[in-house]
Amino acid sequence: MSSRAPSLVVGFDLDMTLIDTVPGFAATLVALGHELDVEFPVVELTQNLGPPLDLILTPHLAAEAIEPAITRFRELYVDHSILPVPALAGAHEALAAVRRHGGRVVVVTGKFAPNAQRHVDHLGFDIDHLEGTVWGVGKADVLRQEGASVYVGDHVHDVEGALAAGVISVSVLTGGSTREALLAAGTHVVLDSLDEFPAWLDEHVLDLRLAALEERLRELGSVLVAFSGGADSALLLAAAARTLGPDNVVAGTGYSDSLPAVERDPARDFATSLGVELLTPRTHEMDREGYRANDGERCYFCKAELIETLGPLAAGRGIAHVATGTNADDAVAGFRPGIRAAAERGAVTPLLDAGLTKDDVRRASRRWGLPTWDKPAAACLSSRVAYGIEVTPHRLARVERAEAGVRSALAAAGLEARDLRVRDLGERASLEVDATLVAGPLTDDAVRRTVLDAVHAAGFDAAELDPRGFRSGSLNEALRQSVGE
């Protein structure tokens, strides 16, 4: 289940891109001038840092003195430039943004590599590779070797290196090159500083992943989307309709006791808004002993039932594949037997293939104006029943009544819960709601008692409010403990 989305490698220049070299460079230049009895125009020379040292020193020293001066400058640099030089605003956050998207960071600089590494170590920059003493178009070879797709710099010569490598040039205005000069050099993006880089990268990565999703859907040709009504499957359904056309897309929602009734009409309305046919076959996961037993593999049997039900429906309509809304975060989330069941039965996972995370799904959905962009997670009713307790229609109906009752009780008190779960622990229930409600309004004894009374009224002998608030998959905590994880 590897991603088809291109891997992310971002290159950064160092001087005046990640670090403010001016104070250290100036101090080192002054020290070198004292030793050589030369008065360098320090202010002038520090206004456009970036070019190699020999180009900077050539106008001020005899040709035969250049190499010895460079050697001595690098020696003096260690004592005069490392400690005084700070990271520029947004530098650490820019590197962290690459990491957040699972990317690699490469520093490609004209600076003498050992001194560049000293800056990296001193400032704690999180990078994967550093290449020094490369300048202008010479940076292209390194960027290509490292597989970079973006290069961030501050100088027109950084733009030259990026363009020569065939990668996106992102320029920041923290160096000596003006916006006009950078645009004239051909840069693709100009940012005032690295403070703006994380937001730009978020959008850039989302564009790449949506493009990969479109490509994957075109490869598939036609899909029946296992549509739960949640954010993930809704985005997949919308993307499929956009890419393939509604005639090549079908939505399939399994109707059973585990699907809350309140989820049905919104799912139907969403599919209708896309012009996509919605199938609502009855699924019979309750007939599967492994599902009713409700051990750690319950979701396996549920997903197996769903895919085995939807597969023949897809084939009967000439639809090539059944697709699920599994995203890239789901694939690394650990305990997900349902994903395994779907994969064993040939279901495809276009969101995962394109590398789209849960955050990507929500941001893309908001970009497209989908009503599900901020919809809370809405797991099936069976996920509320503690492992080891048999899943029955009675239990699921009781949970559904209890959650509806709690929402009504909160509304009567002028409150609303974004996330709410009634966990069936046998004949007692645990109520999970937003932590802000637990720490706020529900500290009032009367309000808390009214809310818990709604759980009692649904048929539970006892009910308690979980002081930790809502936690997705909280019943998995006990399961992990039971198997020694």
Residue closest to 155 by CA, chosen among 130, 168, 136:
136
- The SS3 assignment for 238 reads helix
- The SS3 assignment for 327 reads coil
What pLDDT, on the 0 to 100 scale, is given for residue 474?
Answer: 59
Q: How far is the C-alpha of 349 from the C-alpha of 449, rounded, in Å?
A: 44
Q: Pull the structure tokens for residue 291.
A: 């599902």
Q: How far is the C-alpha of 301 from the C-alpha of 377, rounded, in Å?
A: 21
Residue closest to 194 by CA, chosen among 89, 98, 120:
89
What pLDDT, on the 0 to 100 scale, is given for residue 242?
Answer: 98
Q: How far is the C-alpha of 464 from the C-alpha of 281, rounded, in Å?
A: 36
How distant, in Å, are the alpha carbons of 155, 212, 253, 312 from that of 320?
A: 51, 19, 18, 11
Whose tokens are 């622990």? That residue is: 425
Whose tokens are 């009780």? That residue is: 409
Counting Cβ atoms within 10 Å, is residue 300 exposed (0-12), middle (13-18) or buried (19+)? buried
Residue closest to 32 by CA, chosen among 62, 64, 74, 67:
74
Q: How far is the C-alpha of 15 from the C-alpha of 154, rounded, in Å?
A: 8
Written as one letter, the residue type at 67 is: E
For the entire predicted model, the pTM comes to 0.83
Q: How far is the C-alpha of 253 from the C-alpha of 271, rounded, in Å?
A: 11
What pLDDT, on the 0 to 100 scale, is given for residue 478?
Answer: 54
Tell me how far apart the 2 most distant CA atoms of the chain are, in Å: 94
Question: Euclidean distance between the first and final Cα of the chain, in Å?
Answer: 24
> Residue 9: what are its φ and ψ, rounded to 5°?
-130, 120
Q: Which is it for strands 249-252 and 277-279: parallel, antiparallel or unpaired?
A: parallel
Q: How many CB atoms lie within 10 A of CB 275?
A: 11
Q: How many CB atoms lie within 10 A of CB 199?
A: 11
Domains of the chain and CATH, by start:
9-17+87-203 (3.40.50.1000), 22-80 (1.10.150), 221-378 (3.40.50.620), 382-482 (3.30.300.10)
Provide CB contacts within 8 A for 142, sequence distance 6+.
Answer: 11, 106, 108, 131, 134
Q: Pull the structure tokens for residue 35.
A: 């030793």
pLDDT average per 10 residues of sequence, the chain (485 residues): 70 96 85 86 79 83 88 85 93 97 95 93 97 94 97 96 98 94 98 98 96 97 96 97 98 92 91 97 94 90 96 97 94 79 96 95 97 86 93 95 96 94 95 96 96 96 95 62 43
What pLDDT, on the 0 to 100 scale, is given for residue 4?
Answer: 62
What pLDDT, on the 0 to 100 scale, is given for residue 482?
Answer: 45
